[in-house]
């Protein structure tokens, strides 16, 4: 009698759990991105109930540490970030993509700033200081520099001419890498089917003496994917919940031509015809990758779902010399870490629903 009663209780609990999850399967598609940043009290409580807000905060703050130097693809700062994500996936119990390693390298041409100097020529010659008077904001356009507000005013008032001398070197490196892990499917037939969930891990790498950002590379999407992986791993261990195999991948090279995502799709360690769905979490990059074209070009017959974090708009202030680029800690203080955490939790919620929704 006791055994029958226990089985009944277990079945009832499982039914309640599945019902709770499936009730949240409805998500906005890629062309119906939520534009309202403000969340109702009910929505906030729902997010806090389902997601570890403290852990999300820890991820976001970690991704924006000064020692990570903007997480530029192929840099030592990015490698530190990749090590952090690898350690987190191992703690969650995901299966590494390679033997004993969640990181897989690929050769990539990256641009390195060799030398940057800017002179103002007028009634006298002024030599500007990188990171104080100017920033090199885009290595793809080596003659383009972001001048500080003070210098722009000097040029306007005194008629100085700008003479930049920027040397950018392109080189092949093998240190560029993605971080990926698997949650094996538990269904004997569907386990070969793969749901691929991706997020950018790299940042602008915009450096002077300090790290600058325009708010599009704060790691909200990567934080959301880490928290999503934790919850999915817990569900799989406790309930054998997911029938297909799940692969989460944190990408480098998502900026400046999207070479990294292209590489990840081209060299997918899975039979491409088995990929049933690709879910992409995006940090609201100003220049998004063309995911539909990449999916088609790399022979993935899968459904694509793009989920984008809300765009962060920062009003210009006198104390922001390189606006729209702002010091990372300043950007986080301006918007508030609580808002960034809610954005990440909301993205995790949408991605979880997209994973379950057929």
pLDDT higher than 70, residue 34 = no
pLDDT of residue 136: 84
pLDDT of residue 143: 58
Residues 6+ apart with CB under 8 A from 224: 56, 199, 281, 309, 344, 345, 347, 348, 351
pLDDT of residue 41: 59
Identify which of 243, 18, 236 has the alpha carbon closest to the alpha carbon of residue 10.
18
Cα atoms found within 13 Å of the Cα of residue 265, Cβ hemisphere only:
30
pLDDT higher than 70, residue 10 = no
For the entire predicted model, the pTM comes to 0.83
pLDDT of residue 144: 74
Rounded average pLDDT over 258-284: 93
Altogether, the residues listed in the chain come to a count of: 358
pLDDT of residue 13: 42
pLDDT digits (tens, 9 = 90+) for 129-177: 888 898 887 766 655 788 999 999 989 898 899 998 887 766 666 568 9
pLDDT of residue 357: 85
- Lowest model confidence (mean pLDDT) among 22-36, 44-58, 166-180, 339-353: 22-36
pLDDT of residue 171: 67
**CA distance readout (Å), 92 to 97, 143, 229, 230:** 14, 45, 8, 6
The Cα–Cα gap between 51 and 106 comes to: 33
pLDDT higher than 60, residue 120 = yes
The Cα–Cα gap between 189 and 128 comes to: 64
- 28-107+174-356: which CATH topology? Aminopeptidase (3.40.630)
pLDDT digits (tens, 9 = 90+) for 312-354: 888 888 889 999 899 999 999 999 999 999 999 999 999 999 9
- Top pLDDT among 324 and 22 is at 324
**CA distance readout (Å), 134 to 146, 148, 165, 250, 302:** 5, 6, 12, 31, 45
- Top pLDDT among 285 and 151 is at 151
- Lowest model confidence (mean pLDDT) among 52-66, 69-83, 109-123, 257-271: 109-123
Extents of the domains making up the chain: 28-107+174-356, 112-171
pLDDT higher than 70, residue 21 = no
Residues 6+ apart with CB under 8 A from 318: 149
> 309: which DSSP letter?
P
Identify which of 233, 280, 249 has the alpha carbon closest to the alpha carbon of residue 82.
249
Structure tokens at 241: 């919940």
Rounded average pLDDT over 13-35: 37
DSSP assignment of 153-218 equals HHHHHH--EEEEEEEEEEEEES--EEEEEEE----TTGGG-EEEEEEE-----EESSSEEE-SS-S
Rounded average pLDDT over 233-256: 88
Q: pLDDT over 70 for what percent of the chain?
A: 82
The mean of the pLDDT values for the chain is: 83
Rounded average pLDDT over 91-113: 86
Number of neighbours of residue 177 by Cβ within 10 angstroms: 25
pLDDT higher than 60, residue 204 = yes
What is the band of 281 on the pLDDT scale with cuts at 50, 70, 90?
very high
Specify whether the CB–CB gap between 184 and 96 falls below 8 A. Answer: no
């Amino acid at each position: 009698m006791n055994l029958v009663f226990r089985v009944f209780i277990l079945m009832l609990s499982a039914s309640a759990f599945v019902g709770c999850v499936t009730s949240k399967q409805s998500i906005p598609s890629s062309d119906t991105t939520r534009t309202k940043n403000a969340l109702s009290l009910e929505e906030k409580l729902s997010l806090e109930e389902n997601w570890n807000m403290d852990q999300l905060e820890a991820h976001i703050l970690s991704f924006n540490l000064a020692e990570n130097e903007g997480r530029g693809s192929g840099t030592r700062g990015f490698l530190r970030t990749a090590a952090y994500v690898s350690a987190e996936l191992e703690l969650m119990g995901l299966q590494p993509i390679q033997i004993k390693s969640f990181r897989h390298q690929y050769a990539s041409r990256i641009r390195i700033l060799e030398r940057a100097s800017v002179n103002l020529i007028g009634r006298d010659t002024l030599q500007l200081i990188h990171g104080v008077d100017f920033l090199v904001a885009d290595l793809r356009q080596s003659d383009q520099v972001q001048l500080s507000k003070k210098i722009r005013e000097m040029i306007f008032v005194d008629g100085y001419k700008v003479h930049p001398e920027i040397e950018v070197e392109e080189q092949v490196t093998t240190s560029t890498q993605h971080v990926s892990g698997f949650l094996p499917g538990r269904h004997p037939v569907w386990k070969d089917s793969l749901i691929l969930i991706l997020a950018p891990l790299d940042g602008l790498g915009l450096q002077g003496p300090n790290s600058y950002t325009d708010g599009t590379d704060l790691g909200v999407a990567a934080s959301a994917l880490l928290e999503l992986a934790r919850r999915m791993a817990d569900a799989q261990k406790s309930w054998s919940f997911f029938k297909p195999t799940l692969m989460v991948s944190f990408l480098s090279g998502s900026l400046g031509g999207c070479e990294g995502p292209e590489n990840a799709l081209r060299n997918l360690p899975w039979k491409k015809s088995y990929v049933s769905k690709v879910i992409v979490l995006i940090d609201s990059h100003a220049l998004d990758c063309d995911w539909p074209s990449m999916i088609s070009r790399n022979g993935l017959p899968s459904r694509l779902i793009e989920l984008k974090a809300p765009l962060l708009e920062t009003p210009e202030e006198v104390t922001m010399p390189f606006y729209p680029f702002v010091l990372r800690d300043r950007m986080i203080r301006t918007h508030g870490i609580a808002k960034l955490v809610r954005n990440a939790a909301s993205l995790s919620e949408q991605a979880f629903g997209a994973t379950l929704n057929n």
